[in-house]
Amino acid sequence: MSKKITVVGTGYVGLIAAIGFADFGNQVIGVDIDKEKVDKLNAGIPPIYEHGIHDYLERNLKSKRLRFSSDIASSIIESEVIFIGVGTPPKDNGDVDLSQVENVINEICKNLNDYKVIVTKSTVPVGTNKWIKEYIKEKTNSDNFDVVSNPEFLREGKAITDFFHPDRVIIGYESEKSKEILKDVYRSLYLVETPFVWCNYETAELIKYANNAFLATKITFINQIANLSETIGADVNEVAKALGMDGRINSKFLHAGPGYGGSCFPKDTKALVQIGAKYGVNMSLVKEVINSNELQKIRMVKKLENVLGDLKDKCIAVLGLAFKSETDDMRESPAISIINELIKNNCKIKAHDPKALNNAKKLFGDKIIYCKDSLEAVKDADALILVTEWNEYRSLDLNNIAKLVKQKIIIDTRNMLSPKKVKELGFIYEGVGRK
Ligand code: UDX
């Protein structure tokens, strides 16, 4: 049976969930306090760049199963299931800022007119769902509601595909009634036999952090192996390929590079360390992953310095600003640390990215030069540093670039180019872990 759902928050998590649940056949209201965003969404304009989102948004708006509103009270009153998909950014000390979640909970308390299931999709520290349950009970003097934890595992750029084809769905729950309702909400996935993990709140909450911290650790591990490969004369691509052939390890998330970034791994690793500290458990491995990842970003600049010598007043072309390809998102992108380090060294920076230039302008203002394509960026550059693995950079016009640059130096932080071909054109080439 289709359900009446409100999803609060129309960022990456909330918006994809709202569209996805509507596509499953539910009646969905996506709520956001940003009226301008709501108007755009109702007009079929997605506020984020995400593959396939436009078609799905349009299709579900047309079917009238989906609409957007900034009226949180009436949306809650109308709905049986409330998904919380608002931001949970890190505070300066690494703790999670739960103020947006708290605001939504307070709205729910004020508008709890009938039985409702409140589902946390935002990533929240262990203990939050239990707290939400106790808080609502105390505030409303009612237990005509259930709380469910349903963490999200979407990758940016592949969020739509991930939503419709998840490896598994995690549901932390306490009552059978809420379990049956969640089965209805996810009915389409249930019918195609997606694995569902039914567990308690704490388990669901920890799965999310453990998952992201494990992947961040896997990347950091291969980055350290890459650094060792450089020194001893091994090729990290071959090492990673062989590791990946071991079914127990698998080949994913073994691409050496400039360090992980994005909205999840940096935030969730830090939060896991804080959660450990709160309960007196030393998450020393995760702490070291965080440190090592910071060093990896700066190591990319050191590579440049090793080849170029003093960086002062050098002109550097930075190709790629987003934290990974297929997104305009620059949150915690290695490009930020790299550019800041170059600015510290008084370099002139000419940057290009197929999608992230607008976000870069918000971060760097007039401190760097923004270029419409890679050729404009490399003109008169002393070196070129590739930071994001955009497909268009795999087929760079190297013949032309060789004529435009001042010095033929390429730092390929994603191992995208063929060192042989690049060197044939007279470039000095530095990859990661492939001496
Ligand atoms: C991630 C998780 O995959 C997702 O499940 C979670 O819910 C949110 O965080 P996302 O941040 O979109 O998704 O990016 P992802 O594709 O996982 O990449 C994260 C970072 O790791 C990027 O900076 C990427 O470039 C880097 N990375 C990834 C590597 O450096 N090497 C790899 O092998 C894989």
Q: Which atom of ligand 1 is nearest to the CA of 158?
A: 12
**For a substitution probing ligand 1, which of 324, 338, 353 has the most ligand atoms within 8 Å of its CB?**
324
pTM summary value: 0.94
The pLDDT value recorded for residue 191 is 84
Q: Which residue in the list 109, 199, 264, 347 is annotated as catalytic?
A: 264
Atom 32 of ligand 1, residue of closest alpha carbon: 253
Span from the CA of 261 to the centroid of ligand 1 (angstroms):
7
Span from the CA of 272 to the centroid of ligand 1 (angstroms):
17
Atom 10 of ligand 1, residue of closest alpha carbon: 155
β-sheet with 369-370: strand ranges across: 369-370, 348-352, 315-319, 383-386, 409-412, 428-430
Q: CA-to-CA distance for 153 and 178, rounded, in angstroms? A: 21
The pLDDT value recorded for residue 85 is 97
Ranges assigned E (strand) in 166-218: 169-172, 196-199
Helix (H), strand (E) at residue 304: helix 284-308
Span from the CA of 155 to the centroid of ligand 1 (angstroms):
7
Residue with tokens 């230039």: 357
Alpha helix stretches (DSSP H) within 113-168: 128-140, 159-164
Residue-wise pLDDT for 347-386, tens only, equals: 999 999 999 999 999 999 999 999 999 999 999 999 999 9
Amino acid, single-letter form, for residue 206: L
Q: CA-to-CA distance for 73 and 90, rounded, in angstroms? A: 27
Q: Under 8 Å CB-to-CB from 72, ≥6 apart: which residues? A: 6, 8, 31, 33, 104, 107, 111
Span from the CA of 404 to the centroid of ligand 1 (angstroms):
34
Residue 347 known to be catalytic: no
Atom 8 of ligand 1, residue of closest alpha carbon: 264
CB 123 within 8 A of CB 264: yes
Residue-wise pLDDT for 295-314, tens only, equals: 999 999 999 999 999 999 99
Atom 20 of ligand 1, residue of closest alpha carbon: 260
Among 65, 61, 34, 28, which Cα is nearest to 45's? 61
pLDDT at 118 over 80: yes
Q: Which atom of ligand 1 is nearest to the CA of 257?
A: 30
Span from the CA of 219 to the centroid of ligand 1 (angstroms):
9
Q: How confident is the model at residue 425 (pLDDT cuts 50, 70, 90)?
A: very high
